[in-house]
Each structure stands twice: as C-alpha cells, then as structure tokens.
Amino acid sequence: MKLQINDDFDLKKIANSGQCLRWWEQPDGSYMNPHHKNCLIIRPLAEENVPVYELSCDEKDYAEIWSHYLDMETDYSHVRSLIPEKKDPFLYSASESQKGIRILRQDLWETLISFIISQNRNIPAIKRSIELLAESCGDKKTAPDGTEYYSFPTPEAVAALSPEQLDTCRLGYRCRYIHETAVGVVNGTIDLNSFDALSDDECMERLLSITGVGKKVASCVLLFGLHRIDAFPIDVWIKRILENEYKSGYPMEEYRPYNGIYQQYMFAHYRELNG
C-alpha cells in the first residue's frame, strides 16, 4: 500500500538511532524490519516532494500492526515544538538535526534481551550477537520481497539452548544473564504481560530485579519496549552531554513527559558530531 506521512519520519535516522537493532537497509534505499511474526518493508517514493512511502503490507495490517509499531499516534512535530529554542540551544539544535526519529513500539521481550546484550559493547557488535542468537534458535522466515531471515527467538527457545549453543552467539559474560532471563520468563518469575498495568517506577523496580539489568538497560527497556517516553537512559554519551552541555543541571522536570524523546535527539546528535 501507499502511505503519505506528514509528521516527522526519517527511515535512516530511525534505523541508525540505536533503538532498533534489526532494521536492515536494502540496496534500493528501503528498510526491512521484522516485528513479532511479521516483517515490513518501507520504501520511500519521491513523488512531487510529497512524503509518500510504499509499504509491503495491506491497509488492514497497517491499521492493526504497523501504524502502532511506528507510533503514528504521537505527534512528534508537536513534541519538538515544546523545546525552548533560546533557553536550551543544545537540545533545540539536536532536535532540528535529528528530526524524523520516532520511538518505535517494539516487542518487550526482544527489547529486554537486546539491551542486556548491548551492555559494554558498540552497536555493530550488538547487532552481530542478536543475529547469531536469531540464527541459532529463531524461526526461518521469508520476507515480503523473498529475502530469508530469522525471527527473534521466543523465551522458550532461548531457555532451551545449552550453554555451549549460547556461547556461539558471542555473548561473553552476558550468556548467564540472557539464559536466566529467558528461564525466568518461561517459568513465570518474570511476568512480562503484567508490565503494561504498572507505573513507570514500578516497571523500573521489576526490571532492576532481573540479573544483568541495571539502571541504564532498564531505562532503555522502559523507553523502547514499554513506550514510557519519559524514561531517560544515561549511557556514556548522555553522561558526556550532561557534563559538557548542562553543567548547571538538566531540566528533567520541565521536559516531562517527553524526556525519552529528547534523549534520543541528543544521543543521535552527539554521536553524529563526536562518534
């Protein structure tokens, strides 16, 4: 189907933002991304300067799955318009240069495992481990364009892996965290379905009780897996930003409930400048 998108929407910026580790750029400039049991291909069409895209799904699947996944309910240009240009020139210029990023509504389980894997590693290495894990126990699928890929493994599939099999995914010391988390989800110790009904703070508390999940990973899971858009992950880059650009403090209270979206602008902007 064809779709015109008038709000902020930049495929490349979303794919490179670091929130999604399985968006694959195709030779023709389109992007393919698996989600649950489905896979979507989005191809930009340059038609008379109108932001039109060709999606590999039909209207029904767009309405039921992909519109929500792409967070089309949120008006990002409005969220950007709330940034005080003169009072906070750094955030303002970050939001201008990174306009087009959206916070996807990704699967909670996949996000949890992906960000446990992410700790103390750079993005190419993270993506590699995730693909190895998918290949080792995900299901082989065929994308709408005929490409083969592996779905993100279920908790049951990961829990069933032997230590030797997990070790082939180059997870290093995170092997134990991944395995214990998968087992916890399977046996009900970790009830991912219960999170939606909880407050941000309650979600944070439960996430922190998982071995291998600290404050940073938990914040990423809140933001990317539970769509709590006020969550503010502080990684090495954000830490540098706070130290260098906000010596007199960052106005967290003032920016509620959009701290997570602003964090994404700053993260991507700073990495582009210094990474």
Tell me which residues touch DNA (CB under 7 A). 17-19, 118-125, 128, 167, 170, 172-174, 210-218, 220, 233, 235-238, 263-264, 267
Question: Measured from the CB atom, is 62 or 237 closer to DNA?
Answer: 237
- Whether omega before 257 lies within 30 degrees of 0, making that bond cis, reads yes
Specify the 3-state DSSP secondary structure of 203: helix
CB 49 to DNA: min, Å: 30
CB 239 to DNA: min, Å: 8
Helix H or strand E segment including 149: strand 148-150
Distance (Å, whole) CA 40 – CA 275 = 30
CB 20 to DNA: min, Å: 9
Question: Measured from the CB atom, is 155 or 233 closer to DNA?
Answer: 233
Question: Measured from the CB atom, is 55 or 225 closer to DNA?
Answer: 225
Question: Measured from the CB atom, is 63 or 273 closer to DNA?
Answer: 273
Question: Measured from the CB atom, is 17 or 56 closer to DNA?
Answer: 17
CB 86 to DNA: min, Å: 26
Residue 154 per-residue DSSP state: P
**Angle, nearest 10°, between helix axes 108-118 and 123-137?**
130
Residue listed under structure tokens 């490409």 = 147
CB 63 to DNA: min, Å: 28
Residues 6+ apart with CB under 8 A from 141: 34, 37, 39, 148, 149, 150, 151
Is residue 210 within 8 A of residue 203, CB to CB? The reply is no
Is residue 241 within 8 A of residue 266, CB to CB? The reply is yes
Question: Measured from the CB atom, is 99 or 216 closer to DNA?
Answer: 216
Give the pair of three-digit tokens for residue 211: 């071995």
CB 145 to DNA: min, Å: 25
